[in-house]
């Protein structure tokens, strides 16, 4: 099972996929589902290595594996949700590379489904089959999902893998056409093993980040990276509830000016977990949850933060310890 050597804590999924390859019973379509950051992408790349390097000489296998890991194999089409930017579709990865930010969430679009159809009309170039991976399938609109149905039914000499958070977020007609492979949140020991292996052992000292992660190494690392980007002075002020309305208004203004929406949503999660660990009342936690809902609902962010921070002014929460913030 060397192809799955880097996948920790997903033994059921590994065994299922390995048996499918060993017995040559590859389904036309699979649905990999589970929380963010627990190994679905690692698993699908490993699965692709097995499928797209079958029967190749050893030297060609190594070259093919490098292309697969870089998502550059000619018989692998990797589809990500996209943003619409200046009449051009921009993938999530490309948006991050170019430091682009958007007010709307990315999604899989009908144009991308047409690209999949065109990709599958040609014969494989280097492998014995083709493979299509669609990330965040839960972002499909109903018309786009319906356009994908026919391809799932008749993919030809190809395997299609859908990645999603939960199968209940997809159209039942899509779900029924796939073999299901569930991925589970990791145990504390497996989570620690991965963080140490990837050079993020310092995260283990931050209980609030581990709480946010909820068994997801990817979430833990993303939270750690987000924490490094937030101004330390600002964070120190937020860890102590504001003492006056004026202080609350100033903090809200700073947050709105310095952080984009993604960072603000993460900060709500961070503060909610931190306050809870410090003995916050249920009312405080509910205020944080309401603020998250308003931010997701496109309410003016500065107003959302003003309301949240004002609700904390008279809060009797006492902070008895401090998070290690580093330099």
Q: Bin 242: left if φ > 0, else alpha if -120 < ψ < 50, else beta.
A: beta
- How many Cβ atoms are within 10 Å of 109's Cβ, its own excluded? 19
- How many Cβ atoms are within 10 Å of 142's Cβ, its own excluded? 9
Q: Is pLDDT of 44 > 90? A: yes
pTM: 0.85
Q: Is pLDDT of 327 > 50? A: no
- How many Cβ atoms are within 10 Å of 267's Cβ, its own excluded? 23
**Structure-token pair, residue 295:** 């931010």
Asked if 137 and 81 touch (Cβ cutoff 8 Å), the reply is: no
Q: Is pLDDT of 321 > 70? A: no
DSSP letter for each residue of 108-174: --HHHHHHHHHHHHSPPSSSSSEEEEES-GGG--HHHHHHHHHHHH---SEEEEEEES-GGGS-HHH
Residue 37 sits at the vertex; the CA angle it makes with 203 and 162, to the nearest 5 degrees, is 175
pLDDT in tens, 187-207: 999 999 999 999 999 999 998
pLDDT of residue 49: 95
With b for 16 or more beta-carbon neighbours within 10 A and e for fewer, the 200-237 pattern comes to beebeebebbbbbbebbbbbbbbbbebbeebeeeebeb
- Average confidence score pLDDT of the chain: 91
Question: Which alpha helices (H) appear in 4-138, and where do they start and end?
Answer: 11-22, 40-52, 58-69, 92-97, 110-121
pLDDT in tens, 81-103: 999 888 899 998 888 888 887 76
Give the integer Cα–Cα distance in Å for 291 and 239: 17
Of 267, 285, 268, the C-alpha closest to 276 is 285
Of 327, 326, 280, 289, the C-alpha closest to 307 is 289
pLDDT in tens, 144-184: 999 999 899 888 899 999 999 999 999 999 999 999 999 99
Query: Per-residue confidence at 322, pLDDT binned at 50, 70, 90?
Result: very low
Query: Per-residue confidence at 254, pLDDT binned at 50, 70, 90?
Result: very high
Mean of the pLDDT values across residues 263-272?
Answer: 92
pLDDT of residue 317: 53
């Amino acid at each position: 099972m060397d192809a799955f050597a880097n996948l920790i804590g997903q033994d059921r999924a590994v065994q299922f996929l390995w048996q499918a390859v060993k017995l040559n019973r590859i389904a036309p379509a699979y649905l990999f589902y589970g929380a963010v950051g627990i190994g679905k992408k690692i698993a699908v790349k490993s699965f692709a290595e097995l499928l797209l390097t079958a029967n190749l000489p050893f030297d060609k296998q190594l070259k093919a594996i490098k292309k697969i890991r870089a998502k550059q194999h000619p018989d692998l089409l990797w589809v990500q949700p996209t943003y619409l930017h200046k009449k051009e579709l921009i993938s999530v990865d490309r948006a991050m590379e170019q430091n682009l930010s958007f007010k709307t969430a990315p999604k899989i679009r009908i144009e991308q489904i047409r690209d999949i159809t065109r990709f599958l009309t040609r014969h494989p170039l280097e492998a014995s089959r083709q493979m299509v991976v669609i990330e965040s399938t839960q972002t499909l609109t109903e018309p786009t999902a319906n356009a994908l149905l026919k391809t799932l039914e008749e993919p030809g000499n190809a395997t299609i893998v859908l990645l999603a958070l939960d199968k209940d977020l997809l159209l039942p007609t899509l779900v029924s056409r796939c073999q299901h492979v569930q991925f589970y949140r990791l145990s504390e020991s497996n989570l620690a093993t991965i963080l140490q292996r990837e050079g993020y052992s310092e995260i283990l000292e931050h209980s609030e980040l581990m709480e946010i992660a909820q068994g997801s190494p990817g979430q833990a690392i993303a939270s750690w990276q987000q924490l490094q980007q937030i101004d330390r002075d600002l964070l120190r002020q937020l860890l102590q509830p504001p003492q006056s309305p004026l202080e609350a208004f100033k903090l809200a203004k700073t947050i709105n000016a310095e952080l984009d929406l993604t960072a603000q949503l993460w900060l709500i999660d961070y503060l909610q977990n931190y306050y809870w660990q410090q003995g916050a009342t249920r009312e405080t936690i509910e205020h944080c949850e309401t603020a998250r809902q308003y931010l997701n609902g496109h309410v003016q962010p500065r107003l959302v933060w003003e309301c949240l921070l004002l609700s904390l002014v008279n809060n009797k929460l006492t902070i008895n310890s401090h998070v290690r913030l580093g330099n």
